[in-house]
Amino acid sequence: MKITTKINLITTTWIICVLIAVNAVVFFSFMKITVNMEDDELLQKASVLIKELNKETSAAGTKENLTPYLANHSYIRVINPDSKIVNQVTNDPPMAAKIKAEFAAKKGTDRLTIRLKNKEEQIGIVRVPIQKNGQVVGTLEFGKKLAGLELGKDLLLSILAFCTVLGAVLSLLGGRWLSNLIMRPISNMINTMEDIEQSGIPKKIDIQLETKDELQKLAVTFNRMIGRLERNLENQKQFISDASHELKTPLTVIKSYADLLLRRGLQNEAVAHDAIESIHSEATRIQKMTERFLDLADTESGNLLETKKINLVSLCENIGKQLQAAYKRMIDLHVNEASITVVADEVKLKQAIIILIDNAIKYSMDKVDVYLEDSEIGTSIIVKDYGIGVPEGELENIFERFYRVDKARSRETGGTGLGLAIAKNIIKQHQGEIKIRSTEGVGTEAELFLPKRK
């Protein structure tokens, strides 16, 4: 069942129940008040008449005494202690005949339902004792057809029934309008989602009204999510295009040397040697590049870090020793403390530090200085070189994937342009910061900052 139908049915049923309950209260209150009013009127008449009868010598009075008190469709009778009628006046004899005379020593009211001409009639009766010399000698009985009550009851019932039906219809229409109002943005969202499902292309919901309610919040959140998805997709597309472009050059080189080998290489040993060497070097470059792709994918995937307490001093000492041996370059570690503890993912942090030192080695000829600075708010690892530096306008670009300041030179050094992008991701995962200060021709200072973890 559609949610709009459900809302409609529930609200209408509820409103009908409320109307029925209210109507019942109104109806029964009306009946009670009307009957009480009729009884009061009869009692009042009876007490006036009693006063008159008390003046008479005979307790039964005369017809002349009683007649002026007759109302429409009523009777007045005097009953003796044996429940016999001793005097009666009526303008509705069939009605009076249906009601049995009853002696009552106490004042009281009664109501009877009798059948007259195949119709049920309500009769209101009051009985008041007649006293002579302090003794009850008879009962004055007033009976009256409650015609007003019947009429009022029927009228009220029809009004209440009409109001209930009108209420139900209005609630049905109102419910439909309300559920449509609520469902319109939801239907809009469902349509957009179905479009996305069918086309596979992220699409935003068209928010027409600034309602500032939960539904608008839902749509805005959905659009934000779609925006992120769009950016991610765009990013992915860009990466695939950049990566293919980067792989194209070494693959073209490999292919052309392989062609050369096929054509002439086997006859000429020198050509064959050159070709194999170039193929080897380009294949190594591709290998390094694919390793970098995987590292980048790993740092972008949002995988959890395997953090633990690390002694940064010994970690940097080890890295320094390894790189010094591999590149035959001087790497100086400057640190005042014997040990600095940081909470980090050791493998990833090591990777980020190596990326910075590797850059310093690649883009300078002099020694490389590494400074470790620990403070209350965090720890900095600063890698300083005295090399070619980065031109001022390029500083903001060098963290972008595949960006290299000097493409030709980077090919010589084997750079892929992914190192700093990977390092930035790693430090971001550690809630840290990476900053590069550089002066072209003077040198570069790269700083990794790791905030203290609680």
Ligand X SMILES: Nc1ncnc2c1ncn2[C@@H]1O[C@H](COP(=O)(O)OP(=O)(O)OP(=O)(O)O)[C@@H](O)[C@H]1O
Nearer to Mg ion, 74 or 359 (CB): 359
| Closer residue to ligand X, CB minimum distance, 340 or 420 | 420
Binding site for Mg ion (CB under 5 A): 359, 419
User: Residue 123's binding partner, choosing from Mg ion, ligand X, none, with beta-carbon cut-off 5 to 8 A by kind?
Assistant: none
As measured in angstroms, the least distance from the Cβ of 447 to Mg ion is: 16
What angle is formed at CA 14 by the lines to CA 8 and CA 18, rounded to 5 degrees?
Answer: 145
Count CB-CB contacts under 10 A for residue 402.
Answer: 20
Min separation Cβ 230 and ligand X, Å: 26
Region from 138-146, 199-207, 245-253, 417-425 binding ligand X, contact rule CB under 6 A: 417-425
Q: Which of positions 335-394 make contact with ligand X (CB under 6 A)?
A: 355, 359-360, 363, 385, 387-390
Binding of residue 329 to ligand X (CB under 6 A): no
The reply on whether position 417 binds ligand X by CB under 6 A is yes
Residue 405, contacted partner among ligand X, Mg ion, none, CB below 5-8 A by kind: ligand X
- Selected binder of ligand X within 164, 216, 351, 410 (CB under 6 A): 410
Rounded Cα gap, residues 320 and 331, in angstroms? 6
- The b/e string for 208-228 (b: 16+ C-beta within 10 A; e otherwise) is eeeeeeebbeebeebbeebee
Rounded Cα gap, residues 396 and 403, in angstroms: 10
From 419, 427, 429, 447, residue interacting with ligand X (rule: CB under 6 A): 419
Based on CB atoms, which residue is closest to ligand X, 342 or 388?
388
The smaller minimum CB distance to ligand X, of residues 202 and 389, is found at 389
Does 299 bind ligand X (CB under 6 A)? Our answer is no
For 79-147, the DSSP string reads E-TTS-EEEEEES-HHHHHHS-----SS-EEEEEEEEETTEEEEEEEEEEEEEETTEEEEEEEEEEE-H
418 binds ligand X (CB under 6 A): yes
- CB 368 to ligand X: min, Å: 9
- Residue 388 interacts with, from ligand X, Mg ion, none (CB under 5-8 Å by kind): ligand X
Q: Is 406 helix (H, G, I), strand (E, B) or coil?
A: coil
**Least distance in Å: CB of 362 to ligand X?**
6
Minimum gap (Å) between residue 387 Cβ and Mg ion = 13
Asked whether 348 and 425 are in contact (CB, 8 A), the reply is: no
Cβ-based nearer residue to Mg ion, 37 or 326: 326
Q: Are 285 and 415 in contact (CB under 8 A)?
A: no
Among 96, 323, 344, 398, binds ligand X (CB under 6 A): 398
3-class SS of residue 60: coil
Distance CA 42, CA 46 (A): 6
Stretch that binds ligand X, among 24-32, 41-49, 167-175, 402-410 (CB under 6 A): 402-410
Task: Establish if 313 lies at the interface with ligand X (CB under 6 A).
Answer: no
What minimum distance in Å lies between the beta carbon of 250 and ligand X?
Answer: 14
Amino acid letter, residue 314: S
Q: Which residues make Cβ contacts (< 8 Å) with residue 361, sequence separation at least 6?
A: 323, 327, 329, 368, 385
Backbone φ, ψ for residue 76 (5° rounding): -130, 130
Helix (H, G, I), strand (E, B) or coil at 8: helix
Would you give the DSSP letter of residue 304? P
Tell me the closest approach of the beta carbon of residue 295 to ligand X, in angstroms. Answer: 9
Say which entry of ligand X, Mg ion, none residue 12 contacts (CB below 5 to 8 A, set by partner kind): none
**Residue 67 DSSP symbol:** G
Q: Is 338 helix (H, G, I), strand (E, B) or coil?
A: coil
Site string for ligand X, 420-449 (x = CB under 6 A): xx----------------------x-----
- The nearest distance, CB 249 to ligand X, in angstroms, is 14
Question: Which tokens belong to 356?
Answer: 């910075």
Amino acid at 127: R
Write out the residues near ligand X by the rule CB under 6 A. 292, 355, 359-360, 363, 385, 387-390, 398, 403-406, 410, 415-421, 444
